[in-house]
Structure 1
Amino acid sequence: MNTDRISYVRKRLKESQLSTFPKYAHCLGLDLEVHKDVFWDDNDNVTGRWVTENVPPAVGKSVLEIGCGCGLTALFLAKNGASHVLATDINPHAIANTLANANRNGITNITGVQSDLYKNVDPTSQFDQVIFHLPATHVPDDFAFSSMIEHSSFDPGGSVLNRFLRESQNYLTPNGTMILGYNVSRSESTITDKLESLDLPHKLIAKKKITSDGMINLHLYEVWPLPGER
């Protein structure tokens, strides 16, 4: 277990909560409020903003975002041409925050459901895009979360990544794709090795090193499931 990495992430999450809530921000044409226990990087939400700016256009598409936070990506896509967006998060505070921001911006083609990945998503639903900015810090299977906000950053045993890649294929339209944001940190092969082990065709569509120490090094992938695995 990388205790330095865990301490770094926990410190960053703790610092994000040292504010009076709600906080307010204007980002990518959206007027946002951020609630307590929902992650928002005080540096103009650099990671979430970068992912949102680099997600492929969703004009006319149905979209599912897993891990919606305060709703930035989901609302941006809903506002800019998606036919409908379903925003989900394991954190109930995030769902309430996203729906408050939908109301704040007059965006009606979005719904929200609290869900651990697909647990509470209608199994008959299909989407043209499934988007997930995954928690990238691996921790032991028995890791004790100290708050709901920690689910945004920690992946016990790598299970979140495995479940996402295996389950997403059941929720995609015939030409649908997964959009996967991942902090590769100092191991750029982490995600590609996993995709290749599952025989999932993919391409890197954007990358950016956010911090000079390499602790936040984001890659964004587009992933296609194999037809026989649907």
Structure 2
Amino acid sequence: MNIDRISYVRKRLAESQLSDFPKYTNCLGLDIEVHKDVFWDDDNNVTGRWVTENIPPMAGKRVLEIGCGCGLTALFLAKNGASHVLATDVTPNAITNTMANARRNGITNVTSIKSDLYQNVDKKSRFDCIVFHSPSTRVPENFEFSSMIEYSSFDPGGSLLTRFLQGARTYLTPTGTMILAYNVSRNESAITDKLEKLGLPHKLIGRKKITSDGMINLHLYEIWPLPDE
């Protein structure tokens, strides 16, 4: 466990909650409101904005987004051609926030449910793409969250990534793919090592060092699930 990194992330999250809520902004052509305990970082959500802008076009596709936050990515994809987006998050504030923003922008092809990864997603549903900007700071399995917003960044036991990758095949169409955004921090092989261990074909489609110290170093991958045995 990296104590320095946990402190860094906790400080960043706490600072994001110092303003009055809801707060309002315009981002990627969307009129956005942000609720308390939903993460929206400095510089008009530079991390979420970069991830959203670099996701391949989803015209005509059914998309599942895991970890929707205020709904920026889900709404952007729905507005720009996706046939339908199911936006999920483990925190109820994010679900409420996403649907509030759908109404603000007159977007009707987005629905949202509370779910821990795939837990509450209908097992009969199939998607052309599953998008996940994964929490990347590993903490102990018995980690005590001090606020709801910490679910956006901390991964208790380090199991989220494996559960996401292994569960995706159940919910993807035969030609479906995953889009994974991950902060590799100072370890640029963090994701590729995991993908190679699981035998999953993948392609790096974007990378962006957000902070000069390397603490926020985003990689964006397209991943293909292994076929049914």
Q: State the TM-score bracket (shorter-chain normalisation).
A: over 0.9
Partner of 1:177: 177
* TM-score normalised by L of structure 2: 0.99
Equivalent residues in 2 for 1:19-168, closer than 5 Å = 19-168=19-168
After TM superposition, give the deviation of residue 200 of structure 1 in Å: 0.3
Identity of aligned residues (%): 77
Unaligned runs of 5+ in 2: none
- For residues 201 and 56 of structure 1, what CA distance do their matches in structure 2 show? 17
SS at match of 2:173: strand
- For residues 127 and 228 of structure 2, what CA distance do their matches in structure 1 show? 18
After TM superposition, give the deviation of residue 42 of structure 1 in Å: 2.9
> 1:44-93: CA deviations, max 9, x gaps?
10000000000010000000000000000000000000000000000100
After TM superposition, give the deviation of residue 158 of structure 1 in Å: 1.1
> 1:205-226: CA deviations, max 9, x gaps?
0000000000000000000011
After TM superposition, give the deviation of residue 227 of structure 1 in Å: 1.1
- For residues 8 and 183 of structure 1, what CA distance do their matches in structure 2 show? 14
Equivalent residues in 2 for 1:13-24, closer than 5 Å = 13-24=13-24
**Matched AA of 1:22:** P
Partner of 1:193: 193
Indicate the larger mover: 92-101 or 35-44: 35-44
- For residues 42 and 188 of structure 1, what CA distance do their matches in structure 2 show? 23
Q: How many residues align?
A: 229
> 1:180-209: CA deviations, max 9, x gaps?
000000111111011011100000000000
- For residues 195 and 78 of structure 2, what CA distance do their matches in structure 1 show? 28
After TM superposition, give the deviation of residue 6 of structure 1 in Å: 0.2
* TM-score normalised by L of structure 1: 0.98
- For residues 223 and 50 of structure 1, what CA distance do their matches in structure 2 show? 19
Runs of 4+ aligned residues of structure 1 deviating over 4 Å after TM superposition are none
Unaligned runs of 5+ in 1: none
What is the root-mean-square deviation of aligned Cα atoms in Å?
A: 0.7
- For residues 163 and 204 of structure 1, what CA distance do their matches in structure 2 show? 20
